Amino acid sequence: MLTAAILYFLIVFPGTAGEMCMSHTMKTVGEVVDFRPHSIARAIGRAMRRGWFWLGLLMMATAFFALLAMLSVAKVSFVFPATALSYAVGTLGGRLFLGERVTPQRWFGVLLVCIGVALVAIGKG
């Protein structure tokens, strides 16, 4: 039970934090307006020179391996619906740490997505 709780924490929080690090990195790189391959490569290269990128990648990798481990100790029908919480945590993180303006309309949409992701996973199970 404790193992599953730790793994669940590692899936939701470092996973979401890692994605927020990526978002922060790309905001510091700046809006990409030129979509030719060499311009895209230059933007990705600039992102890879930032510490936040590697921190984000490390946290996303941690969450991925925690998900694999969680699947070995808990039922799929529990794991995937439970990860729907990531959408709410991510939106809250965007509001608190990235300074995004989350309107009630966006919150309502996120709530519907959370319910939907949980239902899809239960329906698969």
Partner 1 sequence: MTPSRGLHLKTLILILIMVSTAPLGNTLLGKGMKQSGAMESWAPSSLFHFFFCAFTTGTIWLGIALLLTYFVAYLLVLSWADYSYVLPASSISSLVIALLAHFVLHETVTPVRWAGVAAICLGVFTVGHTHPRTTEHRPC
Give the interface size with partner 1 as a residue count (CB under 8 A): 50
The alpha carbon of 53 is separated from its chain's Cα centroid by a whole number of angstroms, namely: 14
Q: Which stretch binds partner 1 (CB under 8 A): 2-10, 61-69, 70-78, 113-121?
A: 113-121
Side chain identity, residue 40: I
* Residue numbers 29-48 binding partner 1 by CB under 8 A: 29-35, 40, 43-44, 47
Q: Is 68 exposed, middle or buried (0-12, 13-18, 19+ CB in 10 A)?
A: exposed
Determine if 94 is a binding residue for partner 1 (CB under 8 A). yes
| Distance (Å, whole) CA 3 – CA 15 | 17
Binding site for partner 1 (CB under 8 A): 19-20, 22-23, 26-35, 40, 43-44, 47, 86-87, 90-91, 93-95, 98-103, 105-106, 108-124
